[in-house]
Chain A
Amino acid sequence: MTIKKAAAPRSPVTPRLVEPTAWRHVDLEVNGSTVSTEVESRLLLSDFLRERLALTGTHVGCEQGACGACTVLLDGRAVRSCLTLAAACTGREVRTIEGLAEDSLHPVQQAFHDHHGLQCGFCTPGFVMSITELHEREEPVSEDELMDQLCGNICRCTGYRGIERAARQSVRVATEGGADDE
């Protein structure tokens, strides 16, 4: 981009180009696709996904790790994408809400549909990704672990009952005594 300055500026404040300071090369996998590009060092993973890859299903709420709306899976683990630098993700595998459904809804998404687990929908992608981490775990999770995981996301519509039911449908929760139910 270039800027051609006016011969007689009408304002003492004229446009100037600010060059991004430090850029880093990243190679990462996003929802199965290989992405190879340059990112500004300070770019957050959440903004990289939304603004560079047009994956706007990952929502940005508090940008300080409190709300969980930006949760994605990084190498299979649920993390805050607003507290992760895009530059730090080279060589890693990211999954977002867009990477779940194939021909039909993903089982966690279907569970949200079945149990009316969403109202306004803002928190939903974060909740779905948090629950997907547990859904994909081979061993059953404890009641405590399930509640801990759900507490990592906030729903300001306060529709927690439906979300909890959806989680119970899609996660194998260990019952007292060691047996587990689906």
Chain B
Amino acid sequence: MQKQWLWAALAWAFAQSAAATPTGDVNAQLAEMQARITQLQAAYEARIAALEEKLAAATAPAAASAAAVPAATLPAPSRGGGAGAFNPEVSLILQGAYQHKKKVAERQLSGFWTPGDAHADSHAHGGDRRGFNLDHTELVLAANIDSTFRGQATLALLDDQVELEEAWFQTLGLGQGLGLKAGRFFSGIGYLNEQHPHQWDFYDQPLMYKALFGAHSYTQDGVQLKWVAPTDVFVELGVEAGRGQNFPATEQDHNGAGSRALFARIGDDWGVAHSWRVGVSHLRTTARDRERHMESELIGEHAVAAFSGKSRIWLADFVYKWAPNGNPKDRNFKFQAEYFRRQEDGRLAAADEQGLALGESGYATRQSGYYLQGVYQFTPHWRAGLRYDRLQSGRQDLGSNPAALQTVDYRPRRATAMVDYSFSEYSRLRLQLARDRSMQGLTDHQVTLQYIMSLGSHGAHKF
């Protein structure tokens, strides 16, 4: 409306000026007028744009403005919220369970080196306690730090312990598909490693994670660089370097990296209903005097064995998801599988409980394992799932073995079934049954009833 009026005015002004100099150089005049009109138009457009911007910012009117395009549209200011708008997104996850299982003095994986007896279960989810059990309460704080970085901290709280599970920052856009993360973070190796316990489809982690890392995830204190390839198929490569203080490594005083990881992933859709991701990863760590109790035939009792050397882990993971028409709200299915091989090479020193040396030998192990699981959501609230775990203690070569340390050959395995009900996206109750044969000579039938409740601005989950 206004614009038409302006054009009319301009046309009138132009006609006036043209009429006033009928004998002049009409072409030059025309060109000058044209330039002036263009200038006026540009100025007018800019003003309209500015006005529109203000209007959009203030009230965002539906159809009130002229058909002009703002010359330089900037994002409108963020919606209200006042001072609170800058607060980090906070979420708190409440978890607990009732568990019925056999009384076992010291749970371990037969044939595998379970980390430090003293604090074996300090942060193993669920622990070994029976009956009613409060699990870690997870507190997550996350926010964009500025236009360059985002940060997140995850605290796991339980009684007198506060465990800093994660505390990292990441770049928001280095460009070229690159992303840098630094601080303490769950390593990008494998599939389940980056997930927190509340995201798991079962109460406990697969046996292979317990065998590999003792804890539920391998945590790096270090840096991670990821690159997404510029292709229509998802291709991601990542590299990490970290302090390497967690099992299978040990805390050491050194420069450089005690833990290095590489991972590569490919993923895509098959039609609208199917999607998948395949990954391979490699983790390399060093340990110095990693201690464990072992049976010694020489002294006829427990000896303390200390491993110094290298651990190399290869992981392969596969995830497949199905949802009718690609709409997972009502029904969906998820299948995941992971496989590992671990190779440890170094020296093993043995001593008795008093610290008297019993001799040193070589140490070389080749171990492997896998799990397979499928979870089906058959109505909007209900899901059911099955999982099978199997590990192979494999070759454990102690060389000359002067202390006559005993190794155990065993194949820990477990079958698990679960059904869970979600009242909404934020609350879930789960019943899980397991037949656990992870310890030699023991078949443990476990029944678990678990709740997971999520308060606050719960962030989106990855694929």
Do chains A and B interact in one complex?
no
